[in-house]
Structure 1
């Protein structure tokens, strides 16, 4: 379209951001996405699952099927709520502790 920004309604899908493959904020088929379209950052609601962070296999913070995950997806750190167990995990040294405030902070998503 030759422009930079688009704000509007596209067949029930709201899109706000760059058309040059950078930022999109909006509602796409019931799924909220905020972040880069270049495969970097996504913050939003995807089918009932909250995701905040890199989509390229780096950091993810959010709610996936009732499970909170914060950390690296490539075998590094994971902090989250899996079932009824809170955990902070590193594959080299595993430790567990409570992180309730972190999870409650995710509610705003």
Structure 2
């Protein structure tokens, strides 16, 4: 294991294109401004291999990406509403309001 004290965006910027299969973000995006959120999702989209998945939690119930992440970037991803609802029901952490899953379309 390697511990890095850097932003996920910066770490992903150093990774090869289409090299990652999954991303776990917890609730970090709740604290990002729109520029930070877009920079993160640009790097996630660049480094995502076909079929990659992103899971994250939110403090509130609603997905925070629509209307904040550029449409061109977000349109490359498919929101998995049913799986997100199941993930929330099965989430053993009682402090989050939402659980979300996106699947990379390419």
Higher relative contact order, structure no. (Cα contacts within 8 Å, ≥ 6 residues apart): 2
Kindly indicate which of the two structures has a greater share of residues assigned to strand.
1
TM-score by structure 2 length? Answer: 0.27
TM-score by structure 1 length? Answer: 0.26
Structure showing greater radius of gyration is 1
